[in-house]
A and B are shown apart, each in its own frame.
Chain A
Amino acid sequence: MRVTALLLVALATRAAAQQQTDPRIARLDTAARAPIAALLDSARAAGLPPEPLIQRALEGTTKGAPPDRVVAAVRRLADDLGRARDALGASTEALELEAGAAALRAGAAPAVLAQLRRARRQPLMVPLAVLADLVASGVPVDSAAAAVLVLAGSAHDADLVEFRRAVERDIALGASPATAATGAARESILDVNSSARTGSARPRRP
């Protein structure tokens, strides 16, 4: 019994040690390894997902970015993940936190994330990702946030993705990003309301 307990403790210690020393750290520039490892440890201690952080570090390293930029990007992302959790709640899932961090980085206010949490019972990864993607497409952050907030209460993930595609399509056709977002939001609301009434989706634009 005692031997079994000792064995379990040893295995747990080993697992913890392996978690602490992610082998992918070895791929980073030597100057970046220690600060990145420290950021990963801090994230784990704070209950934040470390995987997005190691991926940003690997991205910067693979692209040949200077170590100080890689560390700065990872630190910025860790801060964003923490801010996202503050806005979305302590029990927020990792995928939502990552999308929330992207939305914050795009310029959305933490209050928007909190409003989304209240407005939607379903997972928030897709609405947050759509918000970030719209801003990246040039839609003013206030317009993007307003549109996503309106849709988030009743739209399915697929509706939100279709909304984002419609905005991108209209921008590609020459509409201003704000106009494209407004028009697509109006259509998406009609779609969602129509689906709710009839139980079937309205035909979409090609």
Chain B
Amino acid sequence: MFERIVAHLRAPVHIDPAFGERVMAEIATLPTPTRARPAAAWRRLAPLAALAVAASVLLLIARPASSTRKLQFVLVAPQAATVSLVGDFNDWDAARTPMRPLRADGAVWSAVVPLAPGRYHYAFLVNGSRWLPDPAAPRASDDGFGTPSSVVTVSGT
């Protein structure tokens, strides 16, 4: 029995010579995968009042041919019902860039915004009333508005 199995395994396998070409042709028809930068490491953050433990990651997800880049803003806010991304890029209009939950439990919120090169102030508006800066981004200078903002710089090169 053992010898029969060995003999079977040792028997040459006949492969269609055109098999490799067919595989490569099939691969050539598949869409080119998008190459994305790996996400920054999640950071352990202090609780922010009773609302949420919030963290965010700013992730460059794509770079189109033009100088405009798509940036993904992410906020971890487990107890939030709504989150908006508000900043210089949308005239500080809280209705223009609502963030969407990335997971079913609604803990991670995300929005993707195309940005031209520049330096932008922004903040997250949670439940329509609570402003949060991005814990993973540099803080903007204090303008005395009562709540801090963050800044993101999009390079043109």
Contact = CB atoms under 8 A, between A and B. Distances in A.
Nearest to B86: A62
Contact of A56 (B119, B143, B155, B156): B143
A190 interface: no
B157 A73 contact: no
B144 A73 contact: yes
Interface string A38-64: 000000000000001001101111111
Contacts of B86: 62
B94 A125 contact: no
Given A95-B118, A95-B119, A125-B119, A157 B143 contact: no
A72 interface: yes
Interface stretch (B12-20, B21-29, B105-113, B146-154): B146-154
A132 interface: yes
B139 interface: yes
Contacts of A69: 143-145
A153 interface: no
Contacts of A55: 88, 91-92, 121
The majority secondary structure among interface residues of chain A is: helix
Tell me if B's interface is mostly helix, strand, loop or mixed.
loop
B138 interface: yes
A172 B119 contact: no
Contacts, number: 96
A52 B141 CA distance: 14
Given A59-B92, A172-B43, A133 B151 contact: yes
How many B residues touch the partner, as a band? 20 to 34
B114 interface: no
A55 B119 CA distance: 12
Contacts of A72: 144
A95 B153 CA distance: 10
B131 interface: yes
B141 A126 contact: no
A65 interface: yes
Given A73-B145, A125-B117, A136 B157 contact: no
21 contacts: A56-B121, A60-B145, A61-B92, A62-B86, A65-B143, A65-B144, A65-B145, A95-B118, A102-B119, A106-B141, A125-B117, A125-B156, A126-B157, A130-B153, A132-B151, A133-B153, A136-B138, A136-B139, A136-B151, A157-B156, A157-B157
